[in-house]
A and B are shown apart, each in its own frame.
Chain A
Amino acid sequence: MNQLISVGVDGVIYSAWLFTAALGLTLVYGVMKIVNVTHGSFYALGAYAAASLTGAWLAAGYPPMLSYLVLLAAALLVSVVVAPVIERGILRFMYAKDEVVILLITYALFLVLEDVIKLVWGVNPYYIAQPYALLGSFTVGGLAHPTYNLILVVLALVSGLGLTWLLRGTRVGKLLRAVIHDPEVSRAMGINVNRYYLVTFTFGSMLAALAGAFTAPTVSVVPGLGVEIIVLSFAVVVIGGLGSLPGAALGAVIVGMVRSASVHYWPEVELFVIYFVMAMVLAFRPRGLFSLAEPRKI
């Protein structure tokens, strides 16, 4: 029984982390139809910015409890500075091009940003372990779990529900949904589509940076951090259906739970099982579990 509880707890924590990381990817695709590989770069930038700022904060002797706000500020700062430069400076000239071309452009930008990170932060690892251990731990099913993991769950819930409210419950959200539905008609109706693209790209990047910033205390921040997350995030949003928020949530839960169960009961297949689930979903629903209905355009 305890093991079953452990599977559940580990699955929830991993799903929450995955969902926060994948949310921005599905948002950017949903609005802009861009498979944004620089998502991984923003994850890494968020982690590096968090490691630097939080490290400086703690070194200066400021209250460690406020370091969680510094993590948040680091993610906001780095995405608000870098994302508009990329969107306004490069991507906006590419919107007319084919989706595959834009995918390749974002991949090229991802490689450039990897080297920019090395230029700025070097190749040595950064650590900010203090926020991870600061809150102590809680016990479920006989096993201790750091309380910090609950922050990841709260972050996922706030990000997911907040974005849903933004899209469903606000005027901006309604206009954004119009842009998602048909950018050309939206433009004809007087909506500043370019501005929505800028805001969406920045917001999506911010979510990636947020995931990176809150992951930083649990890992050593090293070059190449953004590579792994882009593959996993892509698996999650493809399972759920590209561009779908509930899809990303369900995809994250499926991947998280399946991985957790395999680690506990059948560790030999852990690597294989995530991609097996993805293959099975795509075999029966090629556009993902929550693929959006598309209006036919004559």
Chain B
Amino acid sequence: MRRMIVALVAAALAPAAAAQNVKIGVVTFLSGPAASPFGVPAKNAAEFVAEALNQGAAPKPYEKRGFGGANLELVFVDEAGSTTTQVTEFRNLVQRANVDLVIGYVSSGNCLAIAPVAEELKKLVNFFDCGTPRIFEDGKYNYVFRTSPTATMDSVGAALYVRDAKPGVKSIAGINQNYAWGQDSWGDFEAAMKVLVPNVEVKTSQMPKLFAGQYNAEISALLSAKPDVIHSSFWNGDLEALILQAGPRGLMKQSLTILTTGETAMHKLGNQIPDGTVLGARGPFGPYAPNNQYNKWFHGGFVGKYKEQPNYASYQMAQAFLGVKAAWEKAQDANGGKRPSAEQVGAALKGSTFEGPGGTVRMAIGGGHQAIMETAYGTTKLDKGKLTVVNVKRYPAEQVNPPEGIKSADWIKNGFKK
């Protein structure tokens, strides 16, 4: 009888105890082509960081358990499927799973669709990876944040690196996937190059279908055009297929080839990437991450747990958690130690500055909702069978991100900060 009473009391207390947890919806690709390069590394990072935070094992100032002493409970949702599906899943997370906030989204299309719904439901959302600058340039939100920089930074950084690494560049060409990401990336890169080198000639812009897989003809066209520089924002299998097919044909030897998301391939393809290829990591992540205590903790812990290198999507997810944690605890302190509301966390996150494994993150644009960071590019060099990056150049946040209130496209067109 006594046992039964104890069990009943425990059962009655359990929901109360669970209610103390901070329930976080984590949305990323768990299936489909984006799962391997982005979704799964990001999910692993979310699990690692949440576990470490729950154990109070993160470095200062993140040493407090969970968020302000409340344990984190993660609810994972697969981002694969249509935008409509994602909006439905988001509503389910908020209205059925009763999450306190959502961290997620790789696809820019999904971010654009989720932002107004988050606003309608008054639920805090932190986009960790998607790149389109349009979210805060075309809209104004109270509950929506992005703790990673936009794709503008990648393209402007790439153009600056080309100028520095290949002075006297006369011609460029591109091979990008034929959808918003590829077209925007090439558009920004081309515009930035025309600012830096006004007479630069665009030899060809190849736009194969997403997941086309076979690029022999495109590689021939690029080889025939003989541009000084080739730009590509390919990702996943497309990026790897391009490297595998272009490498043996000498494309990367003939032209300086800049792969803006190339870091995701360097851990897997290693010695297939020819020396002299320029790799980007969408920010100071992976091989470009600073040697700070957060990176030592995150990189070491991640490799220890998963026996593989974290890529830039992992870093972006980690800093998304740390940014919200810092804001949560600041809001909780201001609230007399009581659990803060979404509005209070949002107010604390807005315009904040925090440190992460990628360095300093400043929520400086988009009305304090959009992060800016420095970025870096480097050139590959095989060293004793291991792919390394050399000639790494870093560009300060203000040089590669537009100032507050100015749209990326206008900023680039008007000469940006060279």
Chain A interfacial positions (CB closer than 8 Å to B): 2-3, 6-7, 9-11, 13-14, 17, 118, 123-125, 127, 129, 132-133, 137, 142-146, 149, 215, 217-220, 222-225, 227-228, 259-260, 263-264, 267-268, 270-271
Contact residues of A: prevailing secondary structure: helix
User: In the assembly, what is the distance between CA of A168 and CA of B161, in Å?
Assistant: 61
Contact residues of B: prevailing secondary structure: helix
The smallest beta-carbon distance between B238 and chain A, in angstroms, is: 9
Q: For chain B, residues 184 to 222, give those with C-beta under 8 angstroms from any C-beta of chain A.
A: 204-209, 211-214, 216-218, 220-221
Return the CB mask of B206-242 against A: 1 if under 8 Å, else 0.
Answer: 1111011110111011011000000000001100110
Chain A residues with CB under 8 Å of B31's CB are 118, 123, 223
Q: What are 19 pairs between A and B in contact, CB < 8 Å?
A: A3-B224, A10-B220, A14-B216, A123-B31, A127-B244, A137-B249, A142-B224, A143-B220, A143-B249, A144-B223, A219-B214, A220-B241, A220-B244, A223-B31, A228-B213, A263-B208, A264-B217, A267-B218, A268-B207
B81 at the interface (CB under 8 A from A): no
> With contacts A145-B220, A223-B36 known, what are 15 further pairs, Cβ within 8 A?
A13-B216, A125-B240, A129-B272, A132-B248, A137-B248, A143-B220, A149-B216, A217-B244, A218-B245, A219-B237, A219-B240, A223-B31, A224-B237, A270-B178, A270-B209
Chain B residues with CB under 8 Å of A222's CB are 33, 36, 236-237
The smallest beta-carbon distance between B212 and chain A, in angstroms, is: 7
Known: A118-B31, A144-B249, A222-B33. A267 touches B216 (CB 8 A): no
The smallest beta-carbon distance between A276 and chain B, in angstroms, is: 14
| Pair B248/A270 contact, Cβ less than 8 Å | no
Chain A residues with CB under 8 Å of B249's CB are 137, 143-146
The smallest beta-carbon distance between B28 and chain A, in angstroms, is: 12
Select from chain A the residue with minimum beta-carbon distance to B209.
A271
Contact of B217 among A10, A118, A123, A125 (CB under 8 A): A10
The smallest beta-carbon distance between A221 and chain B, in angstroms, is: 8
Contact of A259 among B207, B217, B237 (CB under 8 A): B217
Chain B interfacial positions (CB closer than 8 Å to A): 30-33, 35-36, 39-40, 178, 204-209, 211-214, 216-218, 220-221, 223-224, 236-237, 240-241, 244-245, 247-250, 268-269, 272
| Pair B268/A127 contact, Cβ less than 8 Å | yes
| Pair B32/A267 contact, Cβ less than 8 Å | no
| Pair A267/B224 contact, Cβ less than 8 Å | no
| Pair A271/B178 contact, Cβ less than 8 Å | yes
| Pair B248/A14 contact, Cβ less than 8 Å | no
The smallest beta-carbon distance between A158 and chain B, in angstroms, is: 20
| Pair B221/A263 contact, Cβ less than 8 Å | yes
Contact of A129 among B32, B36, B217, B244 (CB under 8 A): B244
| Pair B220/A6 contact, Cβ less than 8 Å | yes
The smallest beta-carbon distance between A146 and chain B, in angstroms, is: 5
Chain B residues with CB under 8 Å of A228's CB are 209, 211-213
Select from chain B the residue with minimum beta-carbon distance to A140.
B220
